[in-house]
Amino acid sequence: MGGFGSARVMGGALLVIGSAAGGAYAYHRYKDADWERRDDEYQRQLQGKLTESEKQMQELNTQLSLARAQLVTQGTLEEKYQAQLTARDADFEKFRLEHALALKSISNAVFELRQQELGGTQTAREEPPAPTRPGEPTIPPDQRAISYEFTDKEGRVHLEDPNIWVQGDEKLQLAQFFRVEGTVLQQTDGSLMTERVQLIEVAPEGTGKYRPLTQARLVDADFTYANAPREGAPPALVKWGPSFMATIGSSFRTASLLRFGGSARVVQVGPVGLAGGLSSDFQSLEGSGGDAFLTYTPSFRGRQLGLVLGGGIHLPLGGTQRVRPNVTLNFVIY
């Protein structure tokens, strides 16, 4: 019986290890296949082979304030950026290089803003003539200077004209506030992006609040960007949902050194997670039961491995000790 029991344990161990190895291979193969698909899609879009829907997303649409968009490589984007730099950009370039800021996109837009003012305050008055010296002719009443001032109701425009009969002495002052709203959108399943940009004139109302007055009409806009797919999506800070694993566990001061089974990680925060499962040494109820443990997923060159380390408790189905310490080695299956 002892030999038969050992054979069962060995067979179970080989089965679990084989399943874990196959599952880990399938797990990484699936990720590699997804990367290859995304790269193929990126190459197609980079070459300008777009579907009709994608073409509409990249075209200029002044009604929706969408810019004309173009996907390029990072090198092409850098070249275009360097070509448009002028002397006034020197301080900004110094700041960008000092802080190692990467260039992601370039945009420029032309707007047309037409306004019509209704209401306001205007004054016109006849200016008293300057004192004349003896012998100088007196200025007739119909030639005396008339000054004029106008201020719109929002206080944006102030026009002064010291003498309406003289051209070239007018003074126009503008005090306007504008809000620029930019929104960058990306395909859920692709590399194409587009930008919506709006220019809105606003009036300050105090305490950091502004009231919209009028919106400029987008005439032309360009949005050039680089957006190559990354080898893996950036991991979310908190990830919910089961991640199934094959488990090899061990507890201190037990008859069997190893137990084999399966588990599922239900939540993951960065490399740390919480998992639960079942395992058995295939010999007794004392060596079989449930597992609850914390997990740690090591990474290599920024990529998480399919190997997970764990530590927690084992809850036997039988025996006198109802809770045992538990150390696990887990292989991600999916």
DSSP 88: G
pLDDT of 253 above 80: no
- On whether the CB atoms of residues 291 and 220 are closer than 8 A, the answer is no
Q: What is the pLDDT of residues 70-98, one digit of tens each?
A: 999 999 999 999 999 998 899 999 999 99
Mean pLDDT of 224-230: 91
Summarised one tens digit per residue, pLDDT across range 140-195 is 666 678 888 888 888 888 888 888 888 888 898 888 889 999 999 999 888 999 99
Task: Inform me whether the pLDDT recorded for 1 exceeds 50.
Answer: no
Handedness of CA 35, 40, 45, 51 (dihedral sign): negative
pLDDT number for residue 182: 92
How distant, in Å, are the alpha carbons of 4, 92, 98, 289 from that of 101?
A: 65, 11, 8, 53
Give the DSSP per-residue string, 257-282.
S-EEEEEEEEEEETTEEEEEEEEE-S
Q: What is the reported pTM? A: 0.56
**CA-wise closest residue to 28 among 273, 251, 237, 334:** 334
- Does the pLDDT of residue 242 top 80, yes or no? yes
Token code pair at residue 224: 């050039």
Q: Are 221 and 59 in contact (CB under 8 A)?
A: no
**Residue 49 identity (one-letter amino acid):** K
For 208, residues 6+ apart whose C-beta sits below 8 A from its C-beta are: none
| Average confidence (pLDDT) over 273-288 | 91
CB 191 within 8 A of CB 71: yes
Confidence tier at 206 by pLDDT (50, 70, 90): confident
